């Protein structure tokens, strides 16, 4: 057996199967979904030709609430301006 093979066998991989590791992966997935949804909102607004200010862009991309992002995406489809996606119905 080579030294490299011995080193690989000696590595403790239990962390990758632990609850903490799972929690970290879950948080990463949630963050990724939120970032994707934020990009969807921005894409809809931009494709509709609506002006998206830096303030609006930041508010959308900083949001991590999936329900709120879904609500904003739905509103982005019909809102007359980017600012209107934040207004209550």
pTM, full prediction: 0.70
- Give the CA-trace dihedral at 33, 35, 41, 44, to 10 degrees: -90
Report the pLDDT value the prediction gives residue 24, as an integer from 0 to 100: 74
87 Cα distance to chain centroid: 22
Whether 89 has a pLDDT exceeding 60, the answer reads: no
Range 34-48 average pLDDT: 94
Q: What is the DSSP string of 33-69?
A: HHHHHHHHHHHHHHHTT----HHHHHHHHH---HHHH
pLDDT, tens only, 1-29: 666 666 656 666 666 677 777 777 767 77
Whether 78 has a pLDDT exceeding 80, the answer reads: yes
């Amino acid at each position: 057996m080579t030294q490299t093979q011995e080193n690989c066998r000696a590595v403790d991989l239990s962390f990758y199967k632990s609850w903490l590791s799972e929690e970290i992966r879950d948080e990463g997935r949630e963050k990724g979904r939120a970032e994707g949804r934020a990009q969807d909102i921005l894409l809809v607004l931009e494709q509709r030709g609506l002006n998206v200010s830096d303030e609006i862009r930041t508010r959308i991309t900083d949001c991590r609430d999936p329900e709120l992002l879904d609500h904003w995406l739905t509103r982005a489809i019909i809102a007359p301006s980017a600012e209107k996606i934040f207004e209550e119905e």
